[in-house]
Amino acid sequence: AAADPVDMLPGSFGRGSWCNEHDTMHKRLDIIEEKVIKTVEHLESEVKSLLNIISETTSNIPIAPGTPLKDIFDGKY
């Protein structure tokens, strides 16, 4: 009969230990994923807020007639 490959892993204490380590790793990854998603959502909110402030500020600046307009984003956004 062939030996169980899980039991043959170095540092393994059998199937139960390996499964516990696997579950623990997935729980940690889930926590990290949740933190990354919340951070991205926060950063998106901050960027939108800053773009709104820039938009409001630039729309209130009086421009002399004949002054060429400059695209501060060079058309990238």
Distance CA(43)–CA(66), nearest Å, equals 38
Q: 58: helix, coil or strand?
A: helix
Q: What is the pLDDT along the chain (77 residues), one digit of tens a residue?
A: 455 555 555 555 556 788 889 999 999 999 999 999 999 999 999 999 999 998 888 777 777 777 777 777 776 65
Distance CA(19)–CA(53), nearest Å, equals 51
Q: What is the pTM of this model?
A: 0.52
At 3, the amino acid letter reads: A
Q: What pLDDT does residue 1 have?
A: 46
Q: What pLDDT does residue 68 have?
A: 74
Residue 25 tokens read as 């790793």
Q: What pLDDT does residue 7 have?
A: 52
Distance CA(51)–CA(77), nearest Å, equals 11
